[in-house]
Amino acid sequence: MVDLKFKQPPECFASIENVFPLGPDGLRQTPAGCLECELKTECLRTALGREQGVAVHEERLARAYQAGNVGFLERWARQKKLEQRKRITNPWRRFWMRLQRSSR
């Protein structure tokens, strides 16, 4: 029989500092306890989709630029997209922007 009970996510769910903290080498790593959790994929996806996740993407972009894997123009375009994502994290603002776009 299927278990229909809704499970509450753990306290650390989607907290970027808990599920994807900076390691001693300056890179982000998932702790061993999170790897055993059955909600790990959904948790990490949710954490990276929030405003704190934008900072993680910015860190990654900065490392890629320093390593020479991303050129100046591509970095600039990605930074611009990330800035837009920062502004649109508020759901009401996102709704308002969509409404404005549809009225054009």
**pLDDT tens track for 12-44:** 898 999 999 998 998 899 999 889 988 999 999
**Is residue 3 a part of any domain in this protein?**
no
Asked if residue 62 and residue 103 are part of one domain, the reply reads: yes
Q: In terms of domains, do 22 and 35 share one?
A: yes
Residues 6 or more apart whose CB falls under 8 angstroms from that of 23 comprise 29
User: Which residues are CB-contacts of 89 (< 8 A; sequence separation ≥ 6)?
Assistant: 50, 51, 54
Q: Would the pTM count as exceeding 0.75? A: no
CB-count exposure of residue 60 (10 Å: 0-12, 13-18, 19+): middle
Q: Which residue in 18, 47, 48, 49 sits closest to 32, CA to CA?
A: 18
What is the extent of the structural domain holding 65? 52-104
- Say how far residue 65 (Cα) sits from the centre of its chain: 19
For 39-68, the pLDDT digits (tens) are 999 999 999 888 888 889 999 999 999 999
Residues 64 and 84 in one domain: yes
Q: Say if residue 42 is in the same domain as residue 57.
A: no
